[in-house]
Structure 1
Amino acid sequence: LDPQCERQADDGHPIVVDYGGTLLWSHRTQNIIFSGTFWGALLVIGPSMLIWHRCSPRLILLVAMISYVVVTFATPFLALHFGPIAVFSARVIMGFGEGFVVPSFNALISNWFPVEERSTALAVYTTGNQLAGAIGNPLAAALCASPFGWPGVFYSIGQFQQFIIIIYYFITAFTIIIIYHYFLLLLLKLQGV
């Protein structure tokens, strides 16, 4: 924030409104940290399109999700022991993963859904952003107020991300043809053919 816009106490010092945590980082520092994800995504969005043409979007998405988990779990440690520059760097790495997410999802949607249903599939995918904000923010506030404190937010979200990765790994395929092939083989086996 612009220092001129910050509220001042009677003694002229800025009023600090915080959650009572151990990290007293300025709004400017926090904004820079949050921007790290977007800088990382911006740096790799172009190259990511070239890479997913050569590799499986399913695998690329899996690696991107794993980068999210690693950074999520590492954030409290980095913040407490190495400071804001380390957290910013971790957020840039998270952004590298994010830069691969949208092209990978688009490729998966184009391979799984007929043309008429792709907009619906994309709407369901993007609804996750709104749900994350609607559910995640109150949950994060509750965790911050709990005995786990703010690190509990990162650890619980990291565990949830691990759960999603495991489900994703076992139930997805790059194209529906692979799943359909196994389904047909199972049907033939059940019919004794």
Structure 2
Amino acid sequence: MPENVFRYAQRETSCCSNSDDSKNGIFGNRTRYIVLILATLCLSSILGNVLTFNFTIICMTSSVRETIHFTHMNDSRLKTIDNDTVIFEYSPLTKSMLFSAVAIGALVAFPPITLLLNNIGSRSVFGLIGFISAISTALVPLAASAGTHYLLGVHTIQGMGLAACLPVMVKVTAHWASLTQNGLFIAMLSSFLQIAPMVTMPVAGGLCVSPLGWPAAYYVNAVTTAIL
């Protein structure tokens, strides 16, 4: 986004001006709303990358029950399933570690990410975090096949992206919202907590039962995050 538009929006915010500035900047007074929508979508995509595992783990382990079902029916069918379907069996402890890795990554990354946001700027830092989140999401199927330790590492990196969500909400509100719009911006930006599961769950469910399989859910989310 051009720097003159950014400076214009900052001047407008500092003066708390509510006048009609539709003739200034590229999008006029609507620039802040475009930034608001884009920021909300980016936050939703980063959270959606993390939530995908919560649903796809059902698909990743459901093939075990399918194999048992066909054991008593047809041995040839059993071989076909074993050859075409990757089966993952995680113990309760391993599942707990996989879910906790996201929180650990967010906790560890919060201080450095906050410093980077304050010193470098939210646009550059959040863009880099989104790119890292997209790459780590696309690597989840490969990491799952490689081993639990690799999957733990990828989930930890995904969690680091969550550490930027709340600071970015504050940054966007401070730079782009006037005093009378602070409530609107906070409410809209925090809606990513509802938008992410609302979109991720049905999309992941549809892809899990499709011929593409559960890995497609990660690839779709990764591409979406990269585009945003």
- TM-score of the aligned structures, taking structure 2 as reference length: 0.60
Greater RCO, CA 8 A, separation 6+: 2
Are 2:94 and 1:29 aligned?
yes
Inter-partner Cα distance in structure 2 for 1:88 and 1:29: 9
Alignment partner of 1:125 out of 189, 199, 208:
189
Inter-partner Cα distance in structure 1 for 2:190 and 2:92: 29
Q: Is the 8 A contact 2:105 2:160 kept in 1?
A: yes
Alignment match, 1:87: 151
Alignment match, 1:69: 134
Inter-partner Cα distance in structure 1 for 2:199 and 2:161: 23
Inter-partner Cα distance in structure 2 for 1:115 and 1:49: 23
Q: Is the 8 A contact 2:169 2:190 kept in 1?
A: no
Identity within the alignment, %: 22
Structure 1: which 5+ runs fail to align? 1-17, 165-193
Alignment match, 2:77: none
- TM-score of the aligned structures, taking structure 1 as reference length: 0.70
Displacement, 1:148? 1.1
Alignment partner of 1:57 out of 94, 118, 122:
122
Q: Is the 8 A contact 1:41 1:99 kept in 2?
A: yes
Report 1:107-118 matches (<5 A): 107-118=171-182
Are 2:83 and 1:19 aligned?
no
Inter-partner Cα distance in structure 1 for 2:113 and 2:192: 22
Are 2:184 and 1:141 aligned?
no
In the alignment of these two chains, the number of paired residues is: 147
Q: Is the 8 A contact 1:57 1:105 kept in 2?
A: no
Residue 39 to residue 153, structure 1, CA distance change in 2 (3 Å): same
Structure 2: which 5+ runs fail to align? 1-60, 64-85
Counterpart AA for 1:105: M
Displacement, 1:127? 1.1
